[in-house]
Amino acid sequence: MALSTAADSKQVALRVKLKGDTRDVNDIWMAAMQRYKGIIGVDLQRKYSSVPEMVEAGTRDMENFHRWRHDQGKVDRLRTLFSENLAFLEQGSQHLLSAATVSFPPAAAIGTTQCE
């Protein structure tokens, strides 16, 4: 009986707390979104009113990223050089692997893992 009395008192306390509350679900939801933004720092409000607007924004962001990423700076040139010569690097590592296998047989198993 004590459990039911505790549950009843919680229900009564909740009714008293909500008696003067005139908010609807939208108001509660918007307050929760604002609170989330204050805590996390991310705004979850709708930013786009249509799918084409969203696609346009995504395309614009992608183009901005590509301009930033491929700015012809030193890092961009190094990254391009590395990717263009990856086959040569792999051939060189295979030669090192075959030489290392003579003195350390597990090197053959280690060298068979490939990143894709």
Residue 5 CB partners (closer than 8 Å, separation 6+): none
- Report yes or no on whether pTM surpasses 0.75: no
pLDDT tens digit string along 32-81? 999 999 999 988 888 888 999 999 999 999 999 989 888 888 988 998 89
Q: What is the largest CA-CA distance in the chain?
A: 84
Residues 6+ apart with CB under 8 A from 47: 54, 57
Segments in 1-116 forming alpha helices (H): 2-18, 25-40, 51-69, 74-84, 86-103, 107-111
